[in-house]
């Protein structure tokens, strides 16, 4: 891992655990070559293992500019109410890329970030759409920080509000363990394993080797983030690093630092998308999956539980843990959706919830 600077994908390739490294769009292209193109569905020829009905994104069919929303914490998997699902958003971008009627894509970002893996899945699809000749314009809302900026890097043009919180270019790793909490009530665990890497459990402290691997992957992720920003903003890695390291900027300062192209609102983003796509009369096609009644009910139950549970537990928690909880109180989705497979997060811890 040290030899590949913490790049787990390159490590897997070098050790012949995988055959090729590539994006989801590249994988789709290979599948189309192998199985043929289903022109009706703009996909490779296949049958779902689950069922024969496909839920299409809910959007207007007559527009020429796609509007895709990224509002909330970015998580791996499907979208849930109030959060951005990496798979859901990537699929929406893919649909827009393959739709001949869509001439440009506007990504409306209002997010403090989240999972690095999910952010990269979204970024890859936007990059594929841009490579396919469809201009990408990012419209930043109240917040487009960390992972929210990560997914903005493929844009041809970025429009932010003067008060937008953006930047926060940096990542961190989180693996929750409970060994000290269990120790206070006299509960201990033990066991045997073939190697320190095989003995990772939430009831024990992380082995030194796992901590070293985490540090390598975090540093690799940060360098990748800086590299993406440098390439997209036509800067050197050193120039980006000077304004990165987790620093949060307002839209005005971000414009001065070259992180965004213009200050304005959503209408300005629409106008720019029309100009780049050479569309005389922009018509918006909104890509939005409507939450089901069950989704909304479950979200309300979870919100109620989160509101009650912390107060009930505070008397049992040590002071340092209380400090952490208070610092994270306004970070929606962070504790509830720590589902990055590599435990890496590009999340703005200083932004709070801005709408």
Angle between helix axes 24-35 and 116-131 (nearest 10 degrees) is: 60
Return the minimum-mean-pLDDT range out of 18-22, 142-146, 255-259, 333-337.
333-337
Reported pTM? 0.75
Stretch among 187-191, 256-260, 322-326 having the lowest mean pLDDT: 322-326
Annotation says 58 is catalytic = no
pLDDT tens-place string over residues 83-93: 899 999 999 99
Q: Of 209, 217, 189, 157, whose CA–CA distance to 11 is shortest?
A: 217
Of residues 55, 160, 138, 70, the one with CA closest to residue 110: 70
User: Catalytic: which of 111, 146, 168, 285?
Assistant: 146
Q: What is the pLDDT of residues 104-135, one digit of tens each?
A: 999 999 999 999 999 999 999 999 999 999 99
Q: Over the stretch 203-239, which tens digit does the pLDDT of each residue have?
A: 888 888 989 998 999 999 999 999 999 999 999 999 9
pLDDT at 323 over 50: no
> What's residue 245's pLDDT?
87
CA distance 311 to 349: 21
Read out DSSP for 13-44?
Answer: HHTTSSS----HHHHHHHHHHHH-EETTTTEE
Q: For CA atoms 47, 50, 54, 58, give the dihedral sign.
A: negative
In terms of Cα–Cα distance, which of 23, 9, 21 is closest to 94?
23
């Amino acid at each position: 891992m040290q030899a590949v600077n913490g790049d787990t994908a390159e490590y897997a390739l070098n050790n012949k655990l995988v055959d090729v490294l590539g994006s989801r769009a590249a994988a789709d292209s290979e599948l189309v070559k192998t199985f043929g193109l289903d022109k009706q569905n703009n996909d490779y020829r296949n049958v779902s293992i689950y069922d024969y009905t496909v839920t299409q994104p809910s959007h207007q069919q007559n527009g020429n500019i796609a509007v895709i929303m990224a509002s909330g914490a970015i998580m791996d998997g499907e979208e849930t109410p109030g959060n951005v699902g990496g798979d859901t958003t990537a699929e929406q971008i893919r649909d827009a890329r393959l739709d001949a009627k869509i001439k440009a894509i506007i990504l409306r970002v209002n997010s403090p970030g989240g999972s690095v893996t999910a952010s990269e899945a979204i970024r890859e699809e936007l990059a594929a759409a841009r490579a396919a000749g469809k201009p990408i314009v990012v419209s930043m809302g109240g917040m487009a920080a960390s992972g929210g900026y990560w997914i903005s890097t493929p844009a041809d043009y970025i429009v932010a509000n003067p008060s937008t919180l953006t930047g926060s270019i940096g990542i961190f790793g989180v693996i929750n363990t409970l060994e000290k909490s269990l120790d206070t009530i006299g509960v201990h665990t033990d066991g045997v394993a073939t190697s320190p890497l095989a003995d990772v459990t939430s009831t024990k402290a992380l082995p030194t080797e796992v901590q070293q691997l985490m540090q390598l992957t975090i540093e690799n992720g940060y360098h990748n983030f800086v590299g993406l920003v440098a390439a997209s903003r036509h800067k050197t890695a050193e120039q980006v690093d000077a304004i990165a390291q987790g620093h949060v900027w307002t839209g005005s300062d971000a414009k001065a630092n070259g992180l965004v192209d213009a200050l304005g609102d959503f209408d300005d983003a629409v106008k720019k998308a029309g100009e780049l796509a050479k569309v005389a009369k922009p018509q918006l096609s909104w890509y939005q999956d409507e939450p089901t009644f069950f989704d909304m009910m479950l979200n309300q139950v979870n919100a109620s539980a989160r509101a009650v549970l912390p107060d009930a537990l505070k008397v049992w928690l040590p002071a340092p843990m209380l400090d952490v909880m208070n610092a994270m109180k306004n970070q929606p989705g962070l504790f509830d959706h720590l589902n990055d497979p590599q435990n890496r997060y590009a999340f703005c811890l200083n932004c709070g919830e801005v709408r």
